[in-house]
Structure 1
Amino acid sequence: MKSDTLLVSAGRAHGNAVPVNPPVVRASTFLFDSLAAFQAAGKTPFDGPFYGRVGTPTTFAFEDAICALEAGHRSIATASGLAAISATLMAFAETGAHILVVDTVYEPVRRFCNRTLKRMGVETTYYDPTLGAGIADLIRPETTLIYLESPGSGTFEVQDLQAIVAAAKARGVATAIDATWATPLLLKPLALGIDVSIHAATKYIVGHSDGMLGVITTNAAVHDRVRAASQDLGSCAGVEECNLALRGLRTLGVRLERQGATALALAEWLETLPQVARVLHPALPSFPGHALWKRDFTGAAGLFSVELSDRTDGAAARFIDSLKHFSVGFSWGGFESLVLPMHPESRSLGLWSDLGPVIRLQIGLEDLEDLKADLAQALAK
């Protein structure tokens, strides 16, 4: 089935007199008629109702739907995107291990590596997102994982996923990617040979800014160790959140198409304005990673950044505070437009120290002309 058809049908029952949507099963405890039945269910606790923390029929429906979209082995729902990332990193963490993490990573990941993993005796090396095949030079005998995020947080660098995967496989190193920007529709990490695909389902998948949720999809080779780490951390997904994500999946295709088209139109227009020094959007031909984006992705999401020409103190605040249709807030992927300042100069490699104010724009479902007029008047200020 094509992706749009999968969005409608995946994770749903089909047959006579079945509900359109999977029922919301709120349960901590499932009852069994005999000890033998209880013990039998305990042998495969992730395949059916056993205990609420390891899943309910609602959880399994969401996991099945994501796994179908990702074409993976199994999917694992977690309490948040960060919980999904933490479980993945913990799956490959051991005392004396070394991991490679892209320097444009989501900032809480850097915090987890520098705080929790360091305390466990795991060393993290941050690498340039444009390194590509050169990452082979950073792989050590003790390297257990290469962690990717493409496009990168805030500045949207596109990594050469195929070259990095080839280098990793040549040395027997696992790979994982935060693919939240692309959703399961615009990038297929497992088809490119990446072992673990992670999504903050809080964003586009839930799609309405009203649920915290993460999801991990793996190939068969690494599934058990990632599942074990997720289980040990205990950060299970809420049933209500899985239900919200199933609802969001049904309209993900049309929302993403609309938001992506509006964002690209705004990016193309912003690129012509003197108040904008640079537009950081992978789908623009002028963007340095555009060719890689075009090779590996099938479309663009509605999130990008602009670098303002005005570098004076307060320029970013004047711009942001003048906006009417863009609210200041974390996250993205909902139906509403948002704005947030980025601070790439704080990253470890210092590659972004010469940028002017960088402002991230999340483009919602508002009318294109209304958003354009709002940005124009704010830039004029």
Structure 2
Amino acid sequence: MTKPGPSTALIHHPFRAPEGWDAVPVPVHKASTMLFKDTAQLNTPKTRDGISYRYGLPGTPTTYTLAARIATLEHAEHCVLTPSGLAAITLTSLAFLKPGDEVLLPDNAYGQNRHISGSLLRRLDISHRFYDPLDLPAFQALLSERTKLVWIEAAGSVTLEFPDVIGLLKASRAHGGVRVALDNTWGAGLAFNAFDLLPDAEPGLGVDLSMQALTKYPSGGADVLMGAVCTRDIALHRELVAMHENLGYGLGQNDVEAVLRGLPTIALRYRAQDAATRELARWMAARPEVAKVFHPALPDSPGHAHWRQVSPEGAACLFSALFKPAFSPQRIDAFVDALQCFGIGYSWAGPMSLAVPHDMSRSRSLGLPWTAEEGGTLVRFAIGLEDVEDLRADLARALQTLAG
């Protein structure tokens, strides 16, 4: 071969990192095209339980490294990564539901899970119904021959009721033929073991599938969108992988690198934000402007006893404050606007604290956990990594806007 031109020389450059070279950071493998040593290897690709190096879309060594670590975090055996938490929810529902089936959702489910159930799944002739996560008899009455998937959120979205996870699991198991999927974004694999909720009393009692938005705690930087679905069952994992391939989900390897970089500090961040959140939730509950604070560790928060049963050590970084009905939504907006240490935006578990007012009347089907006489506007707070005293002072100063 004659001396190659500059483009050829750059594409076929002979330098390779030495075999066995190792470092703390995981190497970032970026590729769409995978190369085979010959046509025989091309025609006999090796795929093992979802790990495939035939093309870059299913994953690279970087992707599969993150998947393995998320499985460990979730106390699972297998993990599939998706481009977002919503994509993980969609993957789970499409993998295990077919026309004519039914899915049961908690009434406090993540809004986008409610949305896809009423739009995408409905177009596929998959029905859905909502249940009260604190009313076990009513949940049992909803289970039918069509019920094939039950979603659980612990804690619930925005209002943070902690469900009767043990009761819901046992009822689903007794019914037979029902798979249970947990949105474990709040617990992050740290607050409790979703696959073995009562290891001392009933070993093995757990969910079939656990998903979480890696956008939140695993990343921790508020700069990545990603999701994951984990399981201990290889058959369920293979169904997820098959649907994953059909949907063509792919991940940017720089995003994968960012989550890998955030994982080593996840436990430290979770504990720090948990402790700060509990302190601020208790302080907010004592304020005269506030009717009620929703936080699973507070004794009067809905589902507190269920939280103590499975997750007494972990309570994440969220609390919601229900303001007294005397304060109009416009005045609550002014309070939020007056905050300086709290950003106004969605998501949570990043370094910056956030505050968002919520109109709950548009996101519940079975009614609100309070009456109009008890409370008015709800604000969800996500506590970041700022100094607690700075956050408390900011809240106190902004609350003065309500005095007028």
TM-score per shorter chain, which class? over 0.9
Map of 1:204 onto structure 2: 217
Map of 1:5 onto structure 2: none
Measured at CA, do residues 367 and 139 of structure 1 come closer, stay the same or move farther in structure 2, by a change above 3 Å? same
Equivalent in 317, 327, 337 of residue 302 of structure 1? 317
AA aligned opposite 1:376: A
Deviation at 1:230, TM superposition (A): 2.1
SS of match in other structure, 1:223: helix
Deviation at 1:45, TM superposition (A): 7.3
Measured at CA, do residues 61 and 133 of structure 1 come closer, stay the same or move farther in structure 2, by a change above 3 Å? farther
Map of 2:136 onto structure 1: 132
Map of 2:381 onto structure 1: 361
Map of 1:92 onto structure 2: 96
Equivalent in 343, 354, 358 of residue 327 of structure 1? 343
Report % sequence identity. Answer: 38
User: For residues 292-338 of structure 1, what are the alpha-carbon distances to aligned partners after superposition, in whole Å with 9 as ceiling and x for unaligned?
Assistant: 11111131111111011243241221110110100101111101111
Deviation at 1:169, TM superposition (A): 1.2
Map of 2:162 onto structure 1: 158
| Number of aligned residue pairs | 367
User: For residues 243-279 of structure 1, what are the alpha-carbon distances to aligned partners after superposition, in whole Å with 9 as ceiling and x for unaligned?
Assistant: 1111111111111111111110001111111011111
Runs (4 or more) in structure 1 with deviation over 4 Å come to: none
Map of 1:270 onto structure 2: 284
Measured at CA, do residues 207 and 83 of structure 1 come closer, stay the same or move farther in structure 2, by a change above 3 Å? same
Q: What is the RMSD of the two structures over their aligned residues, measured on CA atoms?
A: 1.6
**Contact 2:105–2:131 (8 Å) recurs in 1:** yes
Q: Given the alignment of the two structures, is residue 185 of structure 1 paired with residue 190 of structure 2, yes or no?
A: yes
In structure 1, C-alpha distance between the alignment counterparts of 2:41 and 2:50, rounded to whole Å? 15
SS of match in other structure, 2:229: strand
User: For residues 168-207 of structure 1, what are the alpha-carbon distances to aligned partners after superposition, in whole Å with 9 as ceiling and x for unaligned?
Assistant: 1112200001110111111221223201101100011110
SS of match in other structure, 1:140: coil
Deviation at 1:34, TM superposition (A): 2.3
Map of 2:50 onto structure 1: 46
Deviation at 1:237, TM superposition (A): 2.4
Map of 2:367 onto structure 1: 350
Q: Given the alignment of the two structures, is residue 216 of structure 1 paired with residue 229 of structure 2, yes or no?
A: yes
User: TM-score scaled to structure 1, two decimals?
Assistant: 0.93
Deviation at 1:353, TM superposition (A): 6.5
AA aligned opposite 1:190: F
Map of 2:261 onto structure 1: 247
Structure 2: give runs of 5+ residues left out of the alignment: 1-18, 198-205
Equivalent in 140, 143, 146 of residue 142 of structure 1? 146
User: TM-score scaled to structure 2, two decimals?
Assistant: 0.87
Map of 2:243 onto structure 1: 229
**Contact 2:294–2:302 (8 Å) recurs in 1:** no
In structure 1, C-alpha distance between the alignment counterparts of 2:252 and 2:309, rounded to whole Å? 36
In structure 2, C-alpha distance between the alignment counterparts of 1:358 and 1:324, rounded to whole Å? 19
Deviation at 1:17, TM superposition (A): 4.7
**Contact 2:75–2:189 (8 Å) recurs in 1:** no
User: For residues 59-108 of structure 1, what are the alpha-carbon distances to aligned partners after superposition, in whole Å with 9 as ceiling and x for unaligned?
Assistant: 00100001112221210010000000000011122111111011101111
Structure 1: give runs of 5+ residues left out of the alignment: 1-14
Deviation at 1:38, TM superposition (A): 2.9
